[in-house]
Amino acid sequence: MVSSEYERRIAARFATFDQDGNGYIDREDFSGAAKALLAEFGTAARSDQGQALYSGAEAFWQGMAGIADRDGDQRISREEFVNSAVKRLRDNPSRFAEIARPFLHAALAVADTDGTGAATVTDTMRVLRILGVQDDICRTAAAALDTDGDGRVGEEEIVLAFARYFTVPE
Ligand code: CA
Ligand code: CA
Ligand code: CA
């Protein structure tokens, strides 16, 4: 039996991916997230960082579609997400981490405003807010990403946390 808590958590993960809230996860959700992040940090789309973020977003979408778009209509329905994505990601969180890594790597580079190779907790909050995390939990969530407590969020911290967040235990 599937618990309602489990269903609630799945619904929240779906909503995170469905950035524009149209009921499907598709390419526009990923490119839209890239565009919003670049706008937030004042980075030009045509810059190297902008291009890396867009290609990371496209690779992320392609990876997700490969896992979950079973009927090949170029969008992931809620049913496809629950029946394919969630199960496969749970079985193989490291694969998910690798699908997401180019996007996360590029997002971190955009958010690394002082060029130290990691984003401050404050800049990480800005990223989370742009990606649709509720305002009241952004600070807590950003601080939680800094698992080694050095005040910055690095690539491994963000990739692992991302994989954990989306691989929902039943
Ligand atoms: Ca959508
Ligand atoms: Ca589909
Ligand atoms: Ca850290």
Domains, the chain: 4-167 (1.10.238.10)
Ligand 3 centroid from CA 70, angstroms: 37
Retrieve residue 156's tokens: 């491994």
- Rounded to an integer, what distance in angstroms lies between the CA atom of residue 79 and that of residue 73? 13
> Which residues contact residue 36 at a Cβ distance below 8 angstroms, ignoring those fewer than 6 apart?
19, 130, 131
The model's pTM: 0.90
Ligand lying nearest the CA atom of residue 25: 1
Ligand 2 centroid from CA 138, angstroms: 31
Ligand 1 centroid from CA 72, angstroms: 16
Q: Would you say 53 and 107 are in contact if contact means Cβ atoms under 8 Å apart?
A: yes
Sign of the dihedral through C-alpha 144, 147, 149, 152: negative
Q: What band does 42 get if pLDDT is binned at 50, 70 and 90?
A: very high
Please give the mean pLDDT across all residues of the chain.
91
Ligand 1 centroid from CA 53, angstroms: 19
The SS3 of residue 77 is coil
Nearest to 106 by CA among 59, 165, 167, 142: 59
Query: Among 5-14, 63-72, 121-130, 141-150, where is mean pLDDT lowest?
Result: 5-14
